[in-house]
Amino acid sequence: MYDYGARGPRRAGPPMVRISVNVTYASCGSGSGAFSNAPSASWSISSLFGRLVVGAGADDTATRLENRIGEPAAGPSEPIDSPDTENAIWAPAASGQRLLYGTPGERPLFAVECLEGDRAEATLAYTRFARADPGAKAVLALIGNGHVARLHIDAVRIGDVWRWEGAVAADDARMDVLTGTRQVEATVPGAGSVILNSSPLPGELVETCRAPDQAVTAEAAESDPSPAPAAPEDPA
When the pLDDT of each residue in the chain is averaged and rounded to a whole number, the result is: 76
60 vs 34 pLDDT, higher one: 60
Element (H, E) at 45: helix 38-70
pLDDT at 91: 97
In this prediction, residue 23 carries a pLDDT of 46
Average pLDDT rounded to a whole number, residues 189-217: 87
pLDDT at 224: 52
Instruction: Summarize pLDDT for 133-171 with one digit per residue, the tens.
Output: 999 999 999 999 999 999 999 999 999 999 999 999 999
Q: Does the structure show a pLDDT above 80 at 25?
A: no
Determine the pLDDT at residue 101: 98
Write down the pLDDT at residue 76: 77
* pLDDT above 70 coverage of the chain, percent: 56
Residue pair 98/206 in contact (Cβ under 8 Å)? The answer is no
Q: Percent of the chain scored above 90 by pLDDT?
A: 52
Return d(Cα 170, Cα 186) in angstroms, integer: 18
Domain residue ranges in the chain: 2-70, 89-221
Q: Is the pLDDT of residue 184 over 60?
A: yes
Q: What is the mean pLDDT of residues 173-198?
A: 96
Residue 138 bridge partners (DSSP) = 153
**Hey, which of 11-20, 23-32, 71-80, 100-109 has the most confident mean pLDDT?**
100-109
Q: What confidence tens digit (pLDDT) does each residue in 38-58 have?
A: 444 444 544 544 554 445 555
Rounded to an integer, the average pLDDT of 9-17 is 51
Q: How confident is residue 109, by pLDDT bands cut at 50, 70 and 90?
A: very high
d(CA 94, CA 42): 90
List strands edge to edge, sheet with 89-92. Answer: 89-92, 98-102, 110-115, 123-131, 161-169, 147-158, 137-144, 184-187, 193-196
Q: Can you give the pLDDT at residue 77? A: 82
> How far lies 33's CA from each of 25, 26, 27, 223, in Å?
10, 10, 7, 114
Q: Which residue has the higher pLDDT, 30 or 194?
A: 194
pLDDT of the residue at 4: 45
Longest Cα pair distance anywhere in the chain, in angstroms? 120
